[in-house]
């Protein structure tokens, strides 16, 4: 038994119109009567009395827990030193129910337990580079024994050897130059009898001496350059030769040797490694 | 007991004043217990719920700004706890079997035993019906008709406009009445069926 009008008025909260409607509608009249009866019942009910024991337990709440304000203070104190047993119990009781304070306590605990993180290598290098450079005193032996020092010493030794004439190639050149000078000297002696010849011999000696000096300087320079290049580009590993090819000019592989031919450094053409 | 300045009382409680806290319990204890009882209908559960509510009050004192009555603030704070209990009771179908003992603390003893028995039956029916209607209607009915809160206080506690409080309360009352009538009609049909079976048995 439902009345659409009653539902509409009830949903709209129009109590006055509902009161008028219930006077004319049988179903709604009965419902209104029921409502009045239970409103009367509800109004006649008295509040159940709370026991004294309940009040005592409510009074005691501050003795076994703390408020959020109190929890903040206790958490802050707990960072520096352990709390007394009573305070610790009250705080734990509060934290067991209050998520916000529990999280705050966890964060404080984490902050206390954190250790200083080690900087990453790139950061260390960057920080070191950012620092103003202190005047550095390089150890003499350190610079001498360093790679650049060793290369400089090697070059100096090579140049010294060359200038002292201890290089075999240089010795050979010197021998050749000496023979040339001897020839020039003997040639001049043959033509020493007349003034014209003597002037011509002087002129010839100057020219030959100039040529000898030029050859010596050029020889020293080329020797120094070749020695330096050899020192820098020295490579002990013999290069693998190209595979044998046919001699007919086509550039094709020698098929019969391709299958059996293996390269070994000690048998490489041109000598040993 | 004189009505204390509620904001000042809360401030003193926040500062750890034990005497202020005792005043707070005296001021609100009976009302809180009453609300708790109406949502649980069991003394032990009501006491447990009251303790939970006061615990929540104590731990949330810093949230009270004094902008509306302390009791309304307490109800808004306790609302979820009460609704949880109400749902549990509905789940356990405790409202289906409202005992005499459950309603006895709310009844005043009168001279007329018959009228007293009728009132007891109606009270049991009222709490049964409260368990049958939606919880948003039930809570508003408890606060207004059983606890006597003003519309404004209910509006602040439940964060609803006054108009909504009124219309929802009206719907709650109508729903309770409808449930009771349906039950009466059902039991009437049941009685008639039992009578018919009995008559058939005689015949």
- Tally of domains within chain B: 1
Measured between CB atoms, which of B106, B122, B166 is closest to A38? B122
Name, of A170-179, B88-97, B137-146, the range with top average pLDDT. B137-146
Share above pLDDT 90 across residues of chain A, in percent, rounded to a whole number: 4
User: Which of the two residues, B111 and B42, has the higher pLDDT score?
Assistant: B42
Assign residue B137 the CATH number of its domain.
1.10.1740.10
CB-based contact A58 B29, cutoff 8 Å? yes
Contacts of A49 in chain B (CB under 8 A): 30, 33, 105
CA distance A101 to chain B (A): 10
Task: State yes or no: pLDDT of A270 exceeds 80.
Answer: no
A145-202 pLDDT tens trace: 677 777 788 888 877 776 776 666 666 666 676 666 666 565 555 555 677 777 887 8
In a domain, B1, yes or no: no
> Could you tell me the two tokens for A117?
């993180």
CB-based contact A46 B108, cutoff 8 Å? yes
Instruction: Give me the total of CB pairs closer than 8 Å, taking one residue from chain A and one from chain B.
Output: 133
CB-based contact A55 B25, cutoff 8 Å? yes
CA distance B39 to chain A (A): 12
Q: Which residue in A29, A50, A57, A98 has the most chain B C-beta atoms within 10 A of its own C-beta, making it the best mutation to test that interface? A: A50
> Could you tell me the two tokens for A51?
């026991």
CB-based contact A34 B167, cutoff 8 Å? no
Q: Give the domain range for residue B89.
A: 6-202
**Closest CA relative to residue A224, chosen from A149, A148, A173:** A173
What pLDDT is recorded for position A258? 47
CB-based contact A13 B163, cutoff 8 Å? yes
CB-based contact A42 B145, cutoff 8 Å? yes
Report the residue of chain B nearest A1, measured CA to CA.
Answer: B182
What pLDDT is recorded for position A114? 66
Q: Which residue in B16, B22, B25 has the most chain A C-beta atoms within 10 A of its own C-beta, making it the best mutation to test that interface? A: B25
A92-105 pLDDT tens trace: 988 888 888 888 88
A38-84 pLDDT tens trace: 888 888 888 888 899 999 999 999 888 888 888 888 888 888 788 89
CB-based contact B126 A43, cutoff 8 Å? no
In a domain, B118, yes or no: yes
Q: Which residue in A25, A47, A60, A99 has the most chain B C-beta atoms within 10 A of its own C-beta, making it the best mutation to test that interface? A: A47
B149-189 pLDDT tens trace: 888 889 988 989 988 898 888 888 888 888 888 887 776 55
**Prediction ipTM score:** 0.76
């Amino acid at each position: 038994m439902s009345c659409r009008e009653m539902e509409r008025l009830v949903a709209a909260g129009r109590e006055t119109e509902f009161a008028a409607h219930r006077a004319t509608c049988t179903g709604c009249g009965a419902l209104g009567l029921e409502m009045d009866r239970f409103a009367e019942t509800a109004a006649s009910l008295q509040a159940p009395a709370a026991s004294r024991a309940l009040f005592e337990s409510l009074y005691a709440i501050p003795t076994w827990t703390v408020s959020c304000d109190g929890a903040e203070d206790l958490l802050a104190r707990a960072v520096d030193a352990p709390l007394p047993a009573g305070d610790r119990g009250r705080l734990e009781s509060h934290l067991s129910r209050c998520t916000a304070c529990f999280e705050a306590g966890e964060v404080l605990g984490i902050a206390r337990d954190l250790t200083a993180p080690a900087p990453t290598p790139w950061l260390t290098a960057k920080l070191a580079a950012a620092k103003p450079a202190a005047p550095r005193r390089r150890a003499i032996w350190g610079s001498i024994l360093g790679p650049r020092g060793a290369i400089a010493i090697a070059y100096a030794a090579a140049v010294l050897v060359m200038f002292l004439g201890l290089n075999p190639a240089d010795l050979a050149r010197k021998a050749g130059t000496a023979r040339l000078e001897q020839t020039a000297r003997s040639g001049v002696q043959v033509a020493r009898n007349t003034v014209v010849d003597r002037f011509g011999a002087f002129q010839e000696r100057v020219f030959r001496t100039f040529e000898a000096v030029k050859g010596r300087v050029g020889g020293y320079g080329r020797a120094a350059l070749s020695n330096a290049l050899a020192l820098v580009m020295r490579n002990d590993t013999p290069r693998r030769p190209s595979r044998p090819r046919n001699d007919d000019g086509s550039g094709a592989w020698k098929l019969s040797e391709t299958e059996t031919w293996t390269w070994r450094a000690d048998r490489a053409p041109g000598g040993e490694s | 007991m004189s009505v204390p300045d509620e904001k000042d009382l809360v401030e003193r409680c926040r500062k750890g004043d034990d005497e202020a806290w005792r005043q707070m319990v005296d001021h609100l204890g009976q009302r809180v217990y009453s609300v708790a009882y109406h949502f649980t209908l069991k003394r032990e559960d009501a006491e447990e719920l009251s303790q939970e509510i006061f615990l929540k009050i104590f731990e949330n004192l810093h949230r009270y700004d004094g902008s509306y009555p302390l009791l309304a603030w307490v109800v808004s704070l306790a609302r979820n706890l009460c609704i949880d209990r109400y749902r549990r009771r509905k789940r356990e179908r405790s409202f289906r079997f409202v005992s005499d003992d459950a309603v006895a603390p709310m009844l005043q003893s009168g001279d007329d035993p018959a009228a007293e028995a009728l009132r007891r039956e109606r009270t049991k029916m009222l709490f049964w019906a409260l368990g049958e209607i939606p919880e948003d209607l039930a809570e508003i009915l408890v606060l207004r008709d059983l606890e006597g809160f003003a519309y404004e206080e209910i509006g602040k506690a439940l964060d609803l406009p006054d108009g909504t409080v009124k219309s929802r309360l009206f719907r709650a009352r109508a729903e309770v009445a409808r449930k009771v009538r349906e039950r009466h009609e059902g039991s009437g049909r049941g009685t008639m069926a039992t009578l018919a079976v009995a008559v058939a048995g005689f015949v």
